[in-house]
Structure 1
């Protein structure tokens, strides 16, 4: 179960949130962008390391599994919309779900999950007014700030290293967005 959660579900979610940052409409379109593909692949190798450590999977076989999943995401016949995959970000950012759980476990093993942190930051940045969870998250950030929102929804504390990684990536995304608008 964790292999699917930390590979298929994690990769799909990150592709949607990073894809959204770059204005992509579908998951296959998002993965055609090398920036999106690099983050997705990096995050899956981060979670892959964790799975190898926890369950003793064979590294080459798991790497092939990761590539198979990415190929599935790239299938243009699926036309999986970013907005559909990205919906319900509060659930996907939950402390026991596909993004935060592996990031926390990696931190507990002394590994900084930089690509996962970027994916989490992109999920926090995601906004779709037609998605009630996205709207709730956006309102929380607006009214209470990003640190309080991370603590409330992700159950991560302000002084945690993982929180700082996420905050750094979140602020980087905001800066890049400001530069792009200027």
Structure 2
């Protein structure tokens, strides 16, 4: 008795534990990037972390629009002033194909970056993540990584250790995809 209420649940109901439903499922895991900068004008501060970490070669992955409108220049100018060599891959299109991603991975293999910077929305972010895997672990088959699974703890394929050759940084230009803070690519 007394377990139901006839109004919206509010702060006054939190005192009596009987009236609030108990969460039945515990969170499995939660993974976030080491640093998140999210204020207007924070790009130079975020890039300073790249410089102070001692990175010398940066691959920027973006789309043609952001490249042509100078957004990639905002990153390359700061990095070049600090002596970081840069290369820009700007062939990512909306919903990039695996052939475009492989082309970017080939550039990464020839340029040998120690940091990969994804600039843009969900498509450049996701493409850069897959390029990063292909660069760090060329023996990995993307098709095996893309297998569907219901529970993250019951994956069929063991994901390789990342961050040995290069660090991944995401600079988002849109909000909504969440790709900049997740380890997944669509």
Tell me if TM exceeds 0.5: no
Q: Which has the higher helix share?
A: 1
Q: TM-score, normalised by structure 2?
A: 0.29
Q: Determine which structure has greater relative contact order: mean sequence separation of CA pairs < 8 Å that are 6+ residues apart, divided by chain length.
A: 1
Q: Which has the higher strand share?
A: 2
User: Which one has the largest radius of gyration?
Assistant: 2
Q: TM-score, normalised by structure 1?
A: 0.30
